[in-house]
Chain A
Amino acid sequence: MDNSFFAYLQLLEIMAFFSGYPLVYAFVQVSLGKKIMANNFVARVGPSALPYSYALVGMLFLGFQLKKIFAAFAIDHAAVSIQQPWLMLWALLAMLFWVPYVAKNTVLSLLHSLVFFLYLVWETFLKRNQPSDFGNMLQNDVHVYTSSLLLNFFSLCLILLAAFFYQKMGKRQITN
């Protein structure tokens, strides 16, 4: 984080969207990875749905940023309002996981999101001894991380639900 308060706020926004993904990813991989059962839809589709849920989070992030820019009528100042250009660009790359070829390699989504998660780790471990308001900042980071966990979990649920209905409709078309 540089000295800009607004840059810090933007960093928090990015973390709120992406930092919770690695834990959701690991949880799904570990809990569902062994259950190769043809009848268990969640176990079968869950791991491969992870990149798509990640892409959905990326799309929500883009929507959020566009809403901010349009709501403030700050299109002309969009470049100025972007305080973390490289990190934001990296975050928007998450939408590439809509491309099936990219999404096929699920570990790429993990690596992508680890950038944001490692920032949290850096805040927690390396800035541990900083004085002043560090405690409050860390508490806020953890709140943001919790929100991110929930967002990524619900995003996965949404993708699984969509996949479930998509599969049902496909079967119906075949039987018809």
Chain B
Amino acid sequence: MKLISNKTLMVLLIVVSVYGYIVACTHKDQVLPAQASGTTTYTRGNAVLLPGTLTAGDSTQWKLDQVHSSVLWSTAYLGAAGLLTGRFNWFGIANVTPAQMTTYATAGQPLKDTSWAFYENDPSKTYFNGYVQINTSNTGEPGRDTGCNISALGTVKILPGTQNLAVNNLAQIHTTKVELDPNSTGYIVTFDLTWQGKLTAPKTQSLVGKLTYVPKTNVTIGTATYGVFGLRLEFQFNCRDYGIVSTSIGDNIAIQVNVNFNNK
């Protein structure tokens, strides 16, 4: 190939190469400009959801859908194996006063689930008081649930047809402060956990959990249309603080409360 041809070839190759480099430049290595604002703004609605008097058919009054709700617990098993998990079969959203801490001969909820209020955009007005019956802990193993778990948790066995809200069978939470979570659309909840456990008297300690609101929506089941919404509370506590002694479960107990409401 003659020299002039080589020159032409080189010019062509250089032009094509440079063009390729220019076209391929995506500016991805450029440093992005700083974020305009250091904080992320979360938009919340202004739903106000209240229990009222639980009048059936009043769509402004929201009722706990207990059969579609759950209180779940989990803890490390033997420190190294997988999680040991379970749920409480009976729970409610009521403030159980000392006078009400007794047994109830009923197959349903012993107290009305009305001790709560939820203001989506004004958490200072939001509150809830809830309880679980400790002896209804259900790990799926009846031998354990009605056996060693009963004595280990300092309670008594279930009496059929009876709801036991006695002090030794009751764990309660009472919110003391609900705030907007700056890092999510949820809420930071400060509350008191009261439980006797294996102690001689109930013990109260302040804990912090995270509350998530599942916005209300309308559903149609069959011919009925009604509203639903959900709340999820997650927190952890140290069971040793309540006198629970065990070499097979961890100190930390994680609790997840999933409660669903409807306005039927």
Contacts and interface: CB of A to CB of B under 8 A. Distances in A.
Contacts of A110: 1, 9
A138 B23 contact: yes
Contacts of B28: 139
Contact of A128 (B3, B10, B13, B23): B23
B12 to A, nearest CB: 8
Nearest to B28: A139
B3 A26 contact: no
B214 interface: no
B184 interface: no
A23 B23 CA distance: 19
Contacts of A33: 3, 6
B212 to A, nearest CB: 36
B176 to A, nearest CB: 53
A117 B25 CA distance: 19
A27 B10 CA distance: 6
A77 interface: no
A145 interface: yes
Contacts of A99: none
B17 interface: yes
B17 A136 contact: no
Contacts of B161: none
Contacts of B13: 22-23, 26, 117
Contacts of B21: 142
A30 interface: yes
Contacts of A34: 3
B20 A141 contact: yes
B192 to A, nearest CB: 55
B26 A139 contact: yes
A145 B17 contact: yes
B6 A23 contact: no
Nearest to A123: B20
Contact of A124 (B6, B20, B26): B20
Contact of B7 (A30, A107, A121, A139): A30
A124 B16 contact: yes
A30 B23 contact: no
A142 B26 contact: no
A124 B24 CA distance: 9
A141 B13 CA distance: 16
Contact of A30 (B3, B17, B25): B3
Nearest to A120: B20
B10 to A, nearest CB: 4
Contacts of B9: 22, 26, 29, 110
Contact of B20 (A22, A29, A107, A145): A145
B78 interface: no
A141 B16 contact: no
B77 interface: no
Contacts of A138: 20, 23-24
A128 B21 CA distance: 13
A30 B14 CA distance: 13
Contacts of B26: 135-136, 139
Interface in A19-41: 22-23, 26-27, 29-30, 33-34
Nearest to B14: A23
A143 to B, nearest CB: 8
Given A107-B1, A145-B17, A26 B23 contact: no
Given A23-B13, A26-B13, A30-B3, 14 more contacts: A22-B9, A26-B9, A26-B10, A27-B10, A110-B1, A124-B16, A124-B19, A124-B20, A138-B23, A138-B24, A139-B26, A141-B20, A142-B20, A145-B17
User: Closest 8 CB pairs between A and B?
Assistant: A26-B10, A142-B24, A29-B6, A139-B24, A138-B24, A23-B13, A124-B20, A26-B9
11 contacts: A23-B13, A23-B17, A26-B13, A110-B1, A117-B13, A120-B20, A124-B16, A124-B19, A139-B28, A141-B20, A145-B20
